[in-house]
Amino acid sequence: MDNKKSNQSLYYYYRKYRIAYIFIAPTVIGMLIMHFIPIVQGIYMSFLKLNNFTLGQYLGAPFIYFRNYYDVLINPGSPMRIGIFDSIRNTIIYTILVTVGQIGLGMIVALMLNIDFKGRSLVRTLFLFSWIVPTYVTGILWGFMWQQSIGIINIILVDWLHLLPTKPFWLVGPNTIWAIIIPTIWRYWPMSMLMLLAGLQGISQELYDAVKIDGANRWTAFWKVTWPMLTPVWMILILFGLIYNVYSFNIVIMMFGNGAGFPGEWGDLMMTNIFRNSFMRWDFGAGAATSVILLIVMIFAVNIWFRFYKKSEEAF
């Protein structure tokens, strides 16, 4: 009886919203083709011995079960395992610092642009410049700027401002992590600025007047009014930053040898590690396994963040 009512209910909604279903069907089909099928194929590839010797067989390559996962995570003699934990460490540091930097810089500039002054529209447009530049151009540009002897960064820090005694290497050694973090912040902070500025302009002035009556200064007003009211905005920005920065690729890969170089122990990220091991070592099966592991980790991370977001939204 319940199944019969359920079927009638489904038929009722189908008849009522048939036009909507018809219009949304191409999008659903397109999403399945563009996302679901490649994901399933990638998962299947992770169980295959798919390398330069079996590439001609493609999905017909030998099925080796969980061997690729074993080589990536456990087998100390596997080439795929070399540098994997360095790339995990770098990706965590990179993701946290870039996300915080983008939101922090975006907040500072948004607060400045929220003040009415002459030429504000022009200044806001100029601040969008770094966001307009393609990511691969950003990687090449900053790759030149970080050069040890002729790079403009060292020229400014050492020759002009005399902040450092000697010109450091930025693209080799521990400084590499900063050489990829700073350009990424420079590239993406305008998006945070725009979203935060839109949120600021939606906050009623009456709230600030109320806390001023209670004797609050600007710093207190920021933490009591501005930051809580912007919770939906910065929660979404953190989610975007988590996803975009974990999967960051273009800037780093173009900065080191225009896509052919190795970022080194302190510059290798998960995506560059997967790219190098898949397309330079021709071990597509192990590369697919690493991608699946990253996908699973990101699914859990995003779900956890959605739980925090839901709680903050209910409190808001």
**For the segment 86-127, what is each residue's pLDDT rounded down to a tens digit?**
999 999 999 999 999 999 999 999 999 988 888 888 888 889
Per-10-residue mean pLDDT for the chain, 316 residues long? 56 79 89 88 93 88 93 84 89 96 95 88 88 90 92 93 92 92 95 94 88 84 90 90 91 77 85 87 91 93 85 66
In single-letter form, the type of residue at position 79 comes to P
What is the full DSSP assignment across 56-116?
GGGGGSPB-TTHHHHHHHT-TT-GGGTTHHHHHHHHHHHHHHHHHHHHHHHHHHHHHHTS-
pLDDT of residue 3: 53
The count of other CB atoms within 10 Å of the CB of residue 9 is 10
**How many structural domains comprise the chain?**
1
- Count Cβ atoms below 10 Å from residue 233 Cβ, excluding itself: 21
Per-residue model confidence (pLDDT) at position 1: 46
Q: In which domain, by residue range, is 250 found? A: 83-282
| pLDDT given at position 289 | 94
Both tokens of residue 303?
A: 């779900």
What pLDDT does 110 receive?
94
3-class SS of residue 146: coil
103 lies in a domain? yes
The alpha-carbon radius of gyration of the chain (Å, integer) is 25
- 215 conformational bin, left if phi > 0, alpha if psi -120 to 50, beta if neither: left
Residue 260 belongs to some domain of the structure: yes
CATH of the domain at 203: 1.10.3720.10
Both tokens of 307, joined, read 């739980």
Whole-number percent of the chain with pLDDT over 90: 45
Query: Cα 167 from chain centroid?
Result: 31
Indicate whether 293 belongs to any domain: no
Q: What's the burial of 103, exposed, middle or buried (CB within 10 Å: 0-12/13-18/19+)?
A: buried
d(CA 285, CA 223): 50
Residue 190 CB-density burial (10 A; 0-12 exposed, 13-18 middle, 19+ buried):
buried
The 3-state DSSP class for residue 52 equals coil
Residue 253 lies in a domain: yes
287 within some domain: no
The contacts of residue 139 (CB under 8 Å, 6+ apart) are 183, 250, 251, 252, 253, 254, 255
pLDDT of residue 187: 93
Helix (H) / strand (E) containing 30: helix 18-31
